[in-house]
Amino acid sequence: MTAAVSAPSRALKLRQGTADLHDNIDKSIMAKDPFANVDNYVQFLSLQYYFLKDVAALYEHSELSKHIDDLVSRRRLGLLEQDFADLKQPLPSSSLTPLIDNNTDLATALGWLYVVEGSKVGAAMLGKQVQARLHYTGEFAARYLAGPGAGRGSAWRHLVQLIDTIELTQAQEQALIDGARQAFSRFQLYQAQVYS
């Protein structure tokens, strides 16, 4: 008897196809001890801010919004801005031009969105750490990390479901993975800037 072997889902392929970049980012962020003191934390928030500013157009992307009803409400830039205000810190400003705009093709944009939304999965865990070490919460200075949508909630499950079921050509499948890898690389570029 031959056991049926089903192909891994697209979301799983995305996860496997970007695991090297995720591991590198996770380890290098934690190596900076981001919750050791306020300065380190502000540096960590600046990194997130540069990245979220860079990808802001994703949350208004007209093709993505046809597939994701709550796209606009998934944005976290406002929460991050409030964290800076809580800490009485100015917002950082980047000299880089965003790579994403409304003309970015759907599959590439979806690959980027997977990365940005996926960063909320780890954020839930980091939110607990910042609360334990700096006593910041979802009501003050850790709105971004502890805010709504963190973890593997229904918003994440819906995105994974969309990635798995949306009709894509082979070229678009590749664009999806390339988009996700580009997004992680973009994050690494900001890491290099913030921690230079």
Residues near ligand HEM (CB under 6 A) are 11, 15, 22, 25-26, 29-30, 114-115, 118-119, 121-122, 125, 184, 187
- Smallest distance from ligand HEM to CB 126, Å: 6
Name which of 28 and 62 has its Cβ closer to ligand HEM: 28
Query: What distance in Å separates the CA atoms of residue 196 and residue 189, rounded to the nearest whole number?
Result: 10
Name which of 106 and 150 has its Cβ closer to ligand HEM: 150
> Which residue number is nearest to ligand HEM in terms of Cβ?
118
- Smallest distance from ligand HEM to CB 175, Å: 17
Query: What distance in Å separates the CA atoms of residue 80 and residue 71, rounded to the nearest whole number?
Result: 17
Query: What distance in Å separates the CA atoms of residue 183 and residue 196, rounded to the nearest whole number?
Result: 20
Name which of 16 and 62 has its Cβ closer to ligand HEM: 16
**48: amino acid identity, one letter:** Q
- Smallest distance from ligand HEM to CB 169, Å: 22
CA distances (Å), 143 to each of 29, 48, 87, 146, 152, in order? 19, 13, 12, 5, 17
CA end-to-end span of the chain, whole Å? 58
Closest listed residue to residue 86, CA positions, set 129, 34, 148, 140: 140
- Smallest distance from ligand HEM to CB 123, Å: 8
Name which of 30 and 72 has its Cβ closer to ligand HEM: 30
